[in-house]
Amino acid sequence: MSCLAAQHIQQVVRIRDKLKEEVESIQHEKDQLQQKIIQCQSSLPTDGIPMMPTARRSREASNALFHAYVAERTRKNWRFYPYSLILKRIFDSFQNTVTCDSAEDFYRSLNEWKKNALNLVQLRQVASQAVMDMGRTTSLIMAPDRVPDECIRLANSDNR
């Protein structure tokens, strides 16, 4: 009987030691995870989620409105799409040049943009590039009868 009791005690001690090792292993893993959490949290901005700069937000909102407008007008009349290719270049140059930091900056940058981007030389280049884009993105040369549907599809899916 004492031999059985001794074996039982040894078995219980082995089980206890094994459980103790598991607890220590889990405790070590928990400590490592806690350190990783602390590292990740310390790399986060101190004042919350970083906000996108206002100029970038307004530019994205303006682009979204422009694309919605082009899609709507092109659905009504497919001929608006080629015109929108010209407008898009003018719109982009406006956004890249004109600043709204102050009224003075706005007037100065607007006049600079108007002088540089709206002269006939620039407008001819923009129109020429738009015609080349139409030739590349549609079947204007090979199958002109498909162009109206292609323009509507492009305007609806355009992520320019």
**pLDDT by residue (tens digit) across 3-14?**
888 888 899 999
Statement: residue 1 has pLDDT above 70: no
Statement: residue 34 has pLDDT above 80: yes
Residue 99: count other Cβ atoms within 10 Å of its Cβ.
Answer: 14
**pLDDT by residue (tens digit) across 100-159?**
888 898 899 999 999 988 889 888 999 999 999 998 889 888 888 998 999 999 999 865
Domain ranges (residues) in the chain: 1-43, 54-157
For residue 37, CA distances in Å to 26, 31, 47, 49, 109 come to 16, 10, 18, 17, 47
**String of DSSP letters for 39-69:** HHHHHS-TTSSPPPPHHHHHHHHHHHHHHHH
CA distance 130 to 140: 13
**pLDDT by residue (tens digit) across 49-76?**
555 555 566 788 889 999 999 999 999 9
What pLDDT does residue 55 have?
A: 59
